[in-house]
Amino acid sequence: MKAFVVEKYGKDTVRAAEVPEPAVGDRDVLVRVHATSVNPLDKMVRNGEFKQLLKYKTPFVLGHDVAGVVTKAGPAVRGFQVGDEVYARPRDLRIGGFAEYIAIDEDDVAPKPESLTLHEAAAVPLVALAAWQILVERANVRPGQKVLVHAGAGGLGSTVIQLAKHLGASVATTTSTPTIDLVRDLGADVVVDYTKEDFSKVLSGYDLVLDALGGANLEKSLTVLKPGGLAIGVAGPPDAGFAKQLGAPFFLGAVMNFLSRKVRKRAKDLGVRYEFFFMRASGAQLRELGALYDKGELRPVIDRTFPFSETREALAHVEQGRTKAGKVVVAVVP
């Protein structure tokens, strides 16, 4: 089958290749991929940023989102059958959405939302799961709380805005001038145009900040939290909880804590908290999220769609910051 694989860790190391069709385990479904989408995580995995924790053996197929049709089910599979339209974020070490076929553990798969096409559904799994796990599991967002999400027009930010509003929160976001109307339409109550204003000068008293930028932006984000508030970073720095989540040895947890020591100390000095976030696969959560898409509570935001032959170009489009809003989809089946 055709696929796009990482030959070795580093930049510009993804190439088109012919690889064997994946073997199907007892609990796996084989999915004919109709569409996938590009995430910043693809670049991070390609570059080997997590290679001490996620030990992929090169060459491996890249791609963290899948929407397609089940073509085969393992003997222990009970929830799916051939012909089902599904979507998934396959678990770590079993990714491979940039391919014509992928074998996925049944627990990571959910029926595609009926209201979405397969190409639209491909934009959903990773960002929707991340939004759910941040807002519902990690932060336990409740009605009336205040949430700030940076880069609200992005794939993750646009999803977090919508889900936070569904949960009853008051939502602020940062974005640039061309996407102000979009984030307001998604539900943002307060919009800060970062090209004209410093969010840390105009916002305060937030229960939760979601930061996808890191560095100085993360440090400033700590200052807009109310006492006891939580800043969650998806761009780093990592902490010991990340190593524990992936089952890494204790010493790697100590290394992660060392890397995040500065921001954690700053948070402690301000009376707030910082945590690194790394999402995990969950078919059960995708079922719940699918119901929200079908009810119109959530909708995907798609920047543009590339043909499968231009997967490398799609990756470059995202990596070079040319995405105007939402996700970049790759149509494996036109």
The span from the CA of 58 to the CA of 55, in Å, is 9
pLDDT for position 53: 86
pLDDT for position 152: 97
pLDDT for position 259: 83
- With respect to residue 284, please indicate whether it lies within any of the assigned structural domains: no
pLDDT for position 242: 85
pLDDT for position 101: 98
Q: Domain containing 20 — which CATH number? A: 3.90.180.10
pLDDT for position 244: 84
- The 3-state DSSP class for residue 169 equals coil
Range of the domain at 236: 126-276
Q: Which residues of the chain have pLDDT under 50?
A: none
Strand partners, 17: 3
pLDDT for position 318: 96
157 and 58, same structural domain? no
Residue 264: how many CB atoms within 10 A of its CB? 18
- The 3-state DSSP class for residue 202 equals helix
- Residue 176 φ then ψ, to 5°: -100, 170
pLDDT for position 247: 83
- With respect to residue 286, please indicate whether it lies within any of the assigned structural domains: no
Tell me the pLDDT tens digit for each residue of 105-121.
999 999 999 999 999 99
68 and 83, same structural domain? yes
Instruction: Give the chain's domain count.
Output: 2
44 and 157, same structural domain? no
* Residue linked to tokens 């069709």: 21
Q: Domain containing 170 — which CATH number? A: 3.40.50.720
Tell me the pLDDT tens digit for each residue of 93-103.
999 999 999 99
